[in-house]
Structure 1
């Protein structure tokens, strides 16, 4: 776990147009809790408070008056990440603001890539939703629900402009789309920074929030175990068939796998279709253990399929 703490945490912030994600970024930047590095697609789309910007250098890095940095050009995400930490005064937290209804999956997967993980750790995916217009927005463009579906934290914004009934309905919609997300109703995106940062939602020790069980009685959590080593090709097939191909049913999975051909256990994590595999320092051979969290799953089917992964 010490390796996690040495990496720079990264939060991906997405939301519907007009939901308030840029307002949230400005609020976090102005909170003074961190020296942020901010990465956006295009400078013209950021909405970063102009009074914060002091200058933009030849590398496309804007220096902000509170010590934060903003990568203002459209470029490769990995390049932008490493460029922004190449400064003498490095940021201690990175915010990536998605544009419009951008899919968070490729961005999150990039941050979880082994090369990026040498310096960065995906801390959370934050979704911003408009309490007053959420139902209509989802009706007009249901594909936009993907940002909420993958979020570890949802900021339900503009509650001051919505009726109590609209807020209640919006909360029900979010719980239906994503029963595991931490939900924070707020106005003008003024959420407590400590409530949305350092969530460690992609840490191996992450546990589902207790309230998820209260709001979603049919939420399932079960653990798959195997004593013998697992066949590598069978593990790959299991991940594809039983985990990432069922994003509407399998919300999270995490565990340590002892795979034939590897000297150390493999840490597996997935959030719907987002997943990562990396070797740990623990020796293989100690058995495998995988926690699955979902809805409407046939537990017996998963137990049988996981047992079949073992070397005969």
Structure 2
């Protein structure tokens, strides 16, 4: 591991019993040529899952006093600091969250400048149980957030699932998170290449808001030929993320900025907001396109939020 090169981080999320630890073992077994470190978090005093990690790894750090996404922020930062003081740095870091974690807040931690300089969150992976994912989406808010924040969604436990039902569930997950790479497995075993980052094109259209779903999570597409005032856009997005924390899960897209020839990539998850230059528009008309993912979002509300930032 080069000293100044950020350590790649893989974040594993998913509700209780979805199969996160089985997936973690699979990824570790495929990574035995690398120096790997694992951070395990279990909501409770005893971390049972850490004993199930069977692959060869350099070290396992256990966070067992609470949920990694809230009360253990300082402890996680302390562990990340301790890793940097090791004689030999790891090639990869895997973090397995508790089943009730809000992944957005963890993702936000990796945008802290001091953390970002030494760690690179390359992939957020959400494991869902094919047998009960629809029920969980309806009953547990955190499941919807985990799915919405993911770069990769793994539909697990598909052994007894008829092919049409598997296709339907994958379409359901794609409607919730059109940005994610979605794959299926019977037993938590996936090629490690499936969880490595890949660029995905922005969807041409959002999910049809007229489609009725039990989970109340939907996407709203915003498009405008008018440019944004960059500072005002940052202000309105940060303000409304704080106001609608339990309703607005994720934003992604490209925007045009007044008096600037470049397009800007907008990404927001949890408390994390990033707006960075992403090259020229070239032959593409400078049309701002943003996709919002959340619970019971309405197009009129999104238009109202963004209107003050348009020029």
- Structure 1 length as normaliser, TM-score? 0.69
Deviation readout 1:82-124 (Å, 9 max, x if unpaired):
2123222211222111112211121111111122111112222
Matched, 1:208 2:201: yes
Shift of 1:255: 6.0
Tell me the residue number matched to 1:72.
62
Unpaired segments ≥5 residues, structure 2: 65-71, 210-219, 280-285
Q: Are the equivalent residues in 2 in contact too, given 1:156–1:186 (CA < 8 A)?
A: yes
Q: Relative to structure 1, is the Cα distance of residues 100 and 301 closer, same or farther in structure 2, using a 3 angstrom cutoff?
A: closer
Matched, 1:307 2:304: no
Q: Measure, in 2, the Cα distance between the counterparts of 1:303 and 1:252.
A: 14
Tell me the residue number matched to 1:292.
290
Q: Measure, in 2, the Cα distance between the counterparts of 1:235 and 1:141.
A: 31
Tell me the residue number matched to 1:146.
145
1:270 to 258, 267, 272: 267
Q: Secondary structure at the match of 1:191?
A: coil
Q: Measure, in 2, the Cα distance between the counterparts of 1:254 and 1:243.
A: 18
Shift of 1:132: 1.9
Q: Measure, in 2, the Cα distance between the counterparts of 1:121 and 1:81.
A: 12
Count of aligned pairs between the two proteins = 269
Q: Are the equivalent residues in 1 in contact too, given 2:24–2:53 (CA < 8 A)?
A: no
Q: Relative to structure 1, is the Cα distance of residues 148 and 250 closer, same or farther in structure 2, using a 3 angstrom cutoff?
A: closer
Q: What pairs up with 1:152-191 in 2 under 5 angstroms? A: 152-191=151-190
Q: Relative to structure 1, is the Cα distance of residues 303 and 140 closer, same or farther in structure 2, using a 3 angstrom cutoff?
A: closer
Q: Measure, in 2, the Cα distance between the counterparts of 1:225 and 1:86.
A: 49
Q: Measure, in 2, the Cα distance between the counterparts of 1:256 and 1:78.
A: 35
Q: Are the equivalent residues in 2 in contact too, given 1:26–1:48 (CA < 8 A)?
A: no
Q: Measure, in 1, the Cα distance between the counterparts of 2:206 and 2:58.
A: 38
Unpaired segments ≥5 residues, structure 1: 53-65, 200-205, 260-264, 283-287
Deviation readout 1:50-107 (Å, 9 max, x if unpaired):
654xxxxxxxxxxxxx343321244611111121232222112221111122111211
Deviation readout 1:108-151 (Å, 9 max, x if unpaired):
11111122111112222211011122223334435422211211
Tell me the residue number matched to 2:35.
35
- Structure 2 length as normaliser, TM-score? 0.69
Q: Measure, in 1, the Cα distance between the counterparts of 2:119 and 2:178.
A: 27
Tell me the residue number matched to 2:47.
44
Shift of 1:39: 0.9
